[in-house]
Structure 1
Amino acid sequence: MILLQANQVARHFGADTLFKHIHLEIQDRSRIALVGRNGAGKSTLLKIIAGIDEPDEGSISKIKQLTIGYLDQHTGFQSEKPIWEEMLTAYDGLRAMEARLRELEYQIGQPEQIADNDNYQRLLTEYDQLQHDFNEQNGYGYEAEMKAVLNGFQFDESFYLRPVNSLSGGQKTRLALAKLLLESPDLLILDEPTNHLDIETLAWLENYLQNYRGSLLIVSHDRYFLDKIVTEVYDLSRQKMTHYKGNYTRYLELKEEQLAQDWKAFEKQQTEINKLEDFVARNLVRASTTKRAQSRRKQLEKIDRLDKPVGDEKSARFLFGIERESGNVVLHLEAGAIGYDQTILSEPVNLDIRKREAIALVGPNGVGKSTLLKSIIKEIPFIKGDAQLGTNVSIGYYDQEQANLRSNKTVLQELWDEHPTTPERDIRSVLGSFLFSGEDVEKTVPLLSGGEKARLALAKLSMNKENFLVLDEPTNHLDIDSKEVLEHALIEFNGTILFVSHDRYFINRIATKIVELSATGSKLYLGDYDYYLEKKLEEAELAALQAAESNNLSKTAELATSRNQFQQSKDEQRAIRSLTRKIEQLESQLLTIESQIETIQVDMSNPDYFEDHQKLLTLQRQLNELEQEQETLLEEWETLSLELENKQT
């Protein structure tokens, strides 16, 4: 069932058009991502869909009594109430039902009501219906649900009596999202819901949204999050909207295929146009061929000319170079302690970083990840221990708060003043590679957006050519395309990287090792983020087994059996994860082949090829090869699916 439709929606700013002819359809239990560059108009469109703003053109149609919940990425949650009391307002309807049930129970128990049979039956009927509705809406479990959601967003019982207005900005944003989830609207519209969330909370939110009963419309730059949640993508680009089926990774594949098909159709039409124009030019003035030339000219006039295909808008492009190589040992820290004013956040912290390693620092908010980076660069002293740098190590630091961008200088001056001997042309060239061109370089720093400041900070970092990059949340404020450019630059970087990030997709692409930071110190994992998750799962299973052993369940034979079962379970889970990944890869390959087969079949039905036997033979051969490959992959898919089903049962 269609819940909401955007029809021919447009937004104008004076003579400029942000977007136009927008069509978007949200059905019951839709899982939709809205993607596009910063500035494309995603947040503006969300506000129009949510009914906060009116469109300049077009309309939003929706079913009656549709409830919509909207989370602004800059939400400011204000309330004088304690957190628990504020969250209870999400259940005002249920609590009113609960009060009426208590009232009815009292009335039903009164002798005068029992004596009046008609009125007594009316009260019983109302009570039965109300109790059914109350139970259907989780009336007997809403407090447990509220506790679970608050706990998922890192608000334990110690927070319940704290006034909402005493919280930090990030905590208020998390609380606003928690309340929205508790209200459970039919359509949940989320603008950057992953901001201010650590990895543990992100994983919890993903699981919650996967089981959400309503529909979801999400704007997010977290590609890992989108891949887990969404099943369709609307791409807002160059004022237009394009719809794709599948998660974010599938959207990228389909978009690339569509661009290739558009180029093919455009080049084919251009060839046809060039032939017609050439014929007209050569034959129009000759009396014997004038009529034929005029006929071809009419054909030209009737052609609905395709626009030249364009890929994405202009992308940043840059690399991080190094001025000199470091030694093999880059940094060593043993039994360190980090914190503020002698308050220890984490201890003991051990790091042994070698040349060309890329190490991701992960852990919950508040455990000291940024503090550790600032201690390494000597901005905050270690409470215990000290980080020893290796030979020729030079540190380039990226601050997530861009504290080094507090001047009133222009963008051009910000770089040029630090590199006064570099020609202006070269400075402008570097800025151009970070998408600062023309009048953009004359903007003053305070007038820059978050994304522009991030790109300027990265431009400064690239100019310094340090061999050890220490990066604190480098993907904050960057759109997805800029993140991918940054990933490429860091993968190509010939030095060493230590970074903090909540972007799990980014961590997977960059990290060669993971260091988990907690109150009890650091722990090293030799792999990417997916490997880290697997090891954490194994650790949790082993901890559960050890807990069982400590509860006197440990006869020798039982222990041996338990350990064998644990090892067997671990092996089976690893096999299941491996099979699942292989099946997902096969499904992606099958979708690609299916698309290629459809394209060839369309080409073979083209009248232009009916007389071109050689072309038809080539297409048929390609079709046969694809169908054979499809059949092979299907057989493999069936075998693996059956194997997975057997393992899961």
Structure 2
Amino acid sequence: MIRLDKIGKQNGRQIVFIEASAALQKGEKAGLVGPNGAGKTTLFRLLTGQEQPDEGQVSSERGITIGYFSQDVGEMAGRTVVAEVMDGAGPVSVVAAELKELEAGLADPERVDEMDALVERYGEVQARFEELDGYALEGRAYEVLAGLGFSQEMMDGDVGRLSGGWKMRVALARILLMRPDVMLLDEPSNHLDLESLIWLESFLKGYDGALMMTSHDREFMNRIVSKVIEIDGGTLTTYSGDYAFYEQQRALNEQHQQAQFERQQAMLAKEIKFIERFKARASHAAQVQSRVKKLDKIERVEPPRRRQTVAFEFQPAPRSGDDVAMLKGVHKRYGSRIIYEGLDFSIRRKERWCVMGINGAGKSTLLKLVTGTAQPDAGTVAVGGSVKLGYFAQHAMDLLDGDLTVFEDLESSFPQAGQGSLRALAGCFGFSGDDVEKPCRVLSGGEKARLVMAKMLYDPPNFLVLDEPTNHLDIATKAMLIDALSGFEGTMLFVSHDRHFLAALSNRVLEVTGEGVRQYGGGYSEYVASTGQEAPGLRS
């Protein structure tokens, strides 16, 4: 359906693609992967025609429709959420808007003189709306929005009042409702809770068009794609299989290339040694010349390009007492909404609790109560003896000093630490080379999250409370974080929508529901096995 043939592309001084080729066929679901800055967004822009290649060709079948979801959603205001979503569905949205206006006109007593004309026009527009399957479309719009976590009140409310994260969901809903021939999704799993993520997974599995997407959620990617296109060093390499297969195949390819490189290096060393040894002897002149010519003609094998990954190791955290946190008879409400009523919950040393619950159930509120950033209306919250608390919350990223560079921020937080130690810390969390000189104000959401996490873990607490720590983190950084937290000797309480993170780190589950809380012995994998669901209220 869409093909890239030997494309070349340069942005300023950066060479993004060199003779790169790939194709997306009808019905294929492909994952697009590569390190940050490799050119994934540029590739999407080439496929949609927003940019042109410097060399080569991007071709697509005549008449196909392409829907592109990006992180840049633009302005949204002045319409209901459902109207905004339907507006992305093509001609039917224009007819729907006129139908709404006519309905308002028919109900307006001041327009009684126009009634005959309004009724006649209403009949014409309604017939066109039915012809375009408009009533089914409106139902589908509500269904898609419900799947992405919108309440009825939000769907019928002004889209302009939504936060940036919810506007992202509106933009995604527009593309899903459009059901184009080709769907290009740039990080659709960002800003989604676990329930919405699982719904989207099911939707995309049932979508019969071609799909290309990026995602930092390996489980999400694994369940949807059957092909992976990797961008690395300006080239595109296609792997047939899911993300797990791609990782295995890439590792095997690297081993094979490394072995070829080492064999060739050994052969070259042997030939060079012979040339050096006999180049001054006339009796060996012909042999020396022959070998020199042979070396000139050999195509050199390059060593595999290794992704820079730096492991992070915790300093040993001080030991806490056995009772880490205790909540007794806790009541908490916001306005008329009751969040907790008589909650009893205790956390013991070395327990790793993941908190599950639908949107608004009170997951973040529980973390705020435990950390003391919110107070109960009644009851008690106590933290045990010798507990050193580390709390990662989304708002912590807003507290960074925008005028400081990454390195200056680390230095001000740890004035006693050596420069080498802080540079190693920055490297572990993805700040290498000149990245440490970036002012905090220009950092992306992911970079801010990494910096806050680095500061929290450098001087390790023995009780980690983490609210969506994997938001904005790429797959490699998540893997590093999981590896580091696996060796953490302390206690954890966390909320996450990343199933790989949940399964790897939890050994207890607290499910928050409207009827109270349920506790499960065993981690997330055991929770899924015992409940038959991956998230509260959803069946696997």
Tell me how far 1:407 sits from its aligned partner.
Answer: 4.8
Aligned to 1:436: 431
Aligned to 1:309: 304
Q: Which one of 331, 339, 344 corresponds to residue 338 of structure 2?
A: 344
Aligned to 2:349: 355
Aligned to 2:2: 4
Aligned-partner SS, 2:399: coil
Tell me how far 1:94 sits from its aligned partner.
Answer: 6.0
Distance 1:310 1:87, change over 3 A: closer
| 1:527 lines up with 2:522 in the alignment | yes
| 1:44 lines up with 2:39 in the alignment | no
Distance 1:41 1:318, change over 3 A: same
Q: Does the CA-based 8 Å contact 1:396-1:464 persist in structure 2?
A: no
Distance 1:260 1:369, change over 3 A: same
Distance 1:151 1:343, change over 3 A: closer
Distance 1:8 1:379, change over 3 A: same
The farther-off stretch of 5-14 and 26-35 is: 5-14
Tell me how far 1:196 sits from its aligned partner.
Answer: 1.8
Tell me how far 1:218 sits from its aligned partner.
Answer: 0.5
The farther-off stretch of 481-490 and 281-290 is: 281-290
Separation in 1 of the partners of 2:232 and 2:533?
Answer: 43
Aligned-partner SS, 2:283: coil
Tell me how far 1:199 sits from its aligned partner.
Answer: 0.9
Aligned to 2:58: 60
Separation in 2 of the partners of 1:256 and 1:391?
Answer: 46
Aligned to 1:153: 148
Count of residues in correspondence between the two structures: 508
Tell me how far 1:93 sits from its aligned partner.
Answer: 4.7
Distance 1:348 1:535, change over 3 A: farther
Aligned to 1:115: none
In structure 2, what residue type is equivalent to 1:354? R
Map 1:481-520; keep pairs closer than 5 Å: 481-520=476-515
Tell me how far 1:52 sits from its aligned partner.
Answer: 1.9
Q: Does the CA-based 8 Å contact 1:191-1:220 persist in structure 2?
A: yes
Distance 1:216 1:388, change over 3 A: same
Separation in 2 of the partners of 1:156 and 1:418?
Answer: 42
Separation in 2 of the partners of 1:404 and 1:518?
Answer: 32
Aligned to 1:446: 441
Q: Which one of 25, 28, 52 corresponds to residue 30 of structure 1?
A: 28
Separation in 2 of the partners of 1:519 and 1:341?
Answer: 16
Distance 1:247 1:299, change over 3 A: same
Q: Does the CA-based 8 Å contact 1:79-1:165 persist in structure 2?
A: yes
The farther-off stretch of 41-50 and 85-94 is: 85-94
Q: Does the CA-based 8 Å contact 1:338-1:368 persist in structure 2?
A: no
Aligned to 1:385: 379
Separation in 2 of the partners of 1:198 and 1:330?
Answer: 28
In structure 2, what residue type is equivalent to 1:26? L
Q: Which one of 469, 476, 483 corresponds to residue 471 of structure 2?
A: 476
Between Structure 1 and Structure 2, the one with more helix by share is 1
In structure 1, what residue type is equivalent to 2:54? D
In structure 2, what residue type is equivalent to 1:356? K
TM-score (norm 2): 0.86
Separation in 1 of the partners of 2:533 and 2:33?
Answer: 35
Separation in 2 of the partners of 1:378 and 1:539?
Answer: 30
In structure 2, what residue type is equivalent to 1:50? T
Aligned to 1:177: 172
Tell me how far 1:20 sits from its aligned partner.
Answer: 2.8
Aligned to 1:290: 285
Aligned-partner SS, 1:396: strand
Aligned-partner SS, 1:386: strand
Between Structure 1 and Structure 2, the one with more strand by share is 2
Aligned to 1:613: none
Separation in 2 of the partners of 1:95 and 1:83?
Answer: 13
Tell me how far 1:473 sits from its aligned partner.
Answer: 1.3
Separation in 2 of the partners of 1:176 and 1:392?
Answer: 47
| 1:395 lines up with 2:393 in the alignment | no
Q: Which one of 311, 315, 319 corresponds to residue 325 of structure 1?
A: 319
Q: Does the CA-based 8 Å contact 1:348-1:520 persist in structure 2?
A: no
Separation in 2 of the partners of 1:463 and 1:96?
Answer: 56
Tell me how far 1:343 sits from its aligned partner.
Answer: 4.5
Tell me how far 1:338 sits from its aligned partner.
Answer: 3.7
Q: Does the CA-based 8 Å contact 1:339-1:371 persist in structure 2?
A: no
Separation in 2 of the partners of 1:454 and 1:464?
Answer: 17
In structure 2, what residue type is equivalent to 1:394? K
Separation in 1 of the partners of 2:350 and 2:385?
Answer: 14
Separation in 1 of the partners of 2:230 and 2:342?
Answer: 46
> What are the Cα deviations for residues 390-447 of structure 1, in whole angstroms up to 9, with x where unaligned?
2211101112231431452232332222332333443333333334345433332212
Aligned to 2:157: 162
Aligned-partner SS, 1:387: strand
Q: Does the CA-based 8 Å contact 1:234-1:242 persist in structure 2?
A: yes
The farther-off stretch of 208-217 and 6-15 is: 6-15
Q: Which one of 396, 403, 410 corresponds to residue 405 of structure 2?
A: 410
> What are the Cα deviations for residues 612-631 of structure 1, in whole angstroms up to 9, with x where unaligned?
xxxxxxxxxxxxxxxxxxxx
Tell me how far 1:172 sits from its aligned partner.
Answer: 1.9
Aligned to 1:616: none
Tell me how far 1:526 sits from its aligned partner.
Answer: 2.4
Separation in 1 of the partners of 2:294 and 2:90?
Answer: 68
Tell me how far 1:26 sits from its aligned partner.
Answer: 0.4
| 1:21 lines up with 2:9 in the alignment | no
| 1:244 lines up with 2:239 in the alignment | yes
Aligned to 2:262: 267
Distance 1:371 1:65, change over 3 A: same
Cα RMSD after superposing both structures: 2.9
Which structure would you say has the larger RCO, counting Cα contacts within 8 Å and 6 or more residues apart?
2
Aligned to 1:334: 328
Identity rate of aligned residues, in percent? Answer: 37
Separation in 2 of the partners of 1:88 and 1:434?
Answer: 41
Aligned-partner SS, 2:43: helix
Aligned to 2:110: none
Q: Does the CA-based 8 Å contact 2:90-2:178 persist in structure 1?
A: no
Distance 1:256 1:290, change over 3 A: same
Q: Which one of 233, 249, 252 corresponds to residue 228 of structure 2?
A: 233
Map 1:90-101; keep pairs closer than 5 Å: 90=88, 93=91
| 1:375 lines up with 2:379 in the alignment | no
| 1:455 lines up with 2:450 in the alignment | yes
Q: Which one of 211, 225, 240 corresponds to residue 206 of structure 2?
A: 211
Separation in 2 of the partners of 1:479 and 1:221?
Answer: 5
Separation in 2 of the partners of 1:510 and 1:366?
Answer: 24
Separation in 1 of the partners of 2:83 and 2:405?
Answer: 48
The farther-off stretch of 517-526 and 487-496 is: 517-526
In structure 1, what residue type is equivalent to 2:25? Q
TM-score (norm 1): 0.73
Q: Which structure has the bigger radius of gyration?
A: 1
Distance 1:192 1:323, change over 3 A: same
Distance 1:458 1:529, change over 3 A: same
Structure 1, gaps ≥5 residues long: 99-129, 545-572, 578-649
Q: Which one of 279, 284, 301 corresponds to residue 274 of structure 2?
A: 279
Q: Does the CA-based 8 Å contact 2:3-2:22 persist in structure 1?
A: yes
Separation in 1 of the partners of 2:69 and 2:89?
Answer: 18
> What are the Cα deviations for residues 318-358 of structure 1, in whole angstroms up to 9, with x where unaligned?
12334410122211223423454674334454432222222
Q: Does the CA-based 8 Å contact 1:335-1:385 persist in structure 2?
A: yes
Separation in 2 of the partners of 1:271 and 1:522?
Answer: 64
Distance 1:19 1:397, change over 3 A: farther
In structure 2, what residue type is equivalent to 1:373? L
Structure 2, gaps ≥5 residues long: 97-126
Tell me how far 1:231 sits from its aligned partner.
Answer: 0.5
Q: Does the CA-based 8 Å contact 1:410-1:442 persist in structure 2?
A: yes
In structure 2, what residue type is equivalent to 1:301? D
Distance 1:263 1:377, change over 3 A: same
Distance 1:478 1:19, change over 3 A: farther
Separation in 1 of the partners of 2:148 and 2:429?
Answer: 35
